[in-house]
Amino acid sequence: MRKTVKAMAAYGIRHDDIARVVGVTGKTLRKHYRGELDTGHIEANAQVAGSLFQNAKGGNVTAQIWWTKTRMGWSEKRDDDDGAAKDKAREVRDAVDEMRKRTRVNSD
């Protein structure tokens, strides 16, 4: 039952709905399955992040772009007055090229 609770928590199912499936009240669920409820979503996020990271390292350009925007704070905003947009675009291209090189070296 603990695996079920943890999996449902990982999928983002509301605690009251999990309690209904388990056959207990929300209060009882939280009392006896606190650990599963608290960590299920963390472990799910870690697995998804790991997959994303592996895809980015493996040459998936969409994953690489998403990673640079969300994890590295880069954006596609244009600021032509000082050339910042061109510099950022160059940085993104360089980062993607570097990831590709590392992937080739690590896979050889």
- C-alpha dist (Å) from residue 9 to 27, 34, 61, 66, 86: 15, 11, 31, 26, 43
Q: Which domain holds residue 33?
A: 1-50
Looking at the structure, tell me whether residues 78 and 101 fall in a common domain. yes
- Asked if the model's pLDDT at residue 108 lies above 80, the reply is no
The residue that leads in pLDDT, 90 or 83, is: 90
Summarize pLDDT for 5-56 with one digit per residue, the tens: 999 999 999 999 999 999 999 999 999 999 999 999 999 999 999 999 999 9
Looking at the structure, tell me whether residues 41 and 82 fall in a common domain. no
pLDDT of amino acid 57: 94
Q: How many domains does the chain fold into?
A: 2
The angle, 0 to 180 degrees and rounded to 10, between the axes of the packed helices 34-57 and 2-10 is 50
| Position 106 confidence tier, pLDDT thresholds 50, 70, 90 | low
Beta strands per DSSP E along the chain: none
Looking at the structure, tell me whether residues 70 and 102 fall in a common domain. yes
Looking at the structure, tell me whether residues 81 and 106 fall in a common domain. yes
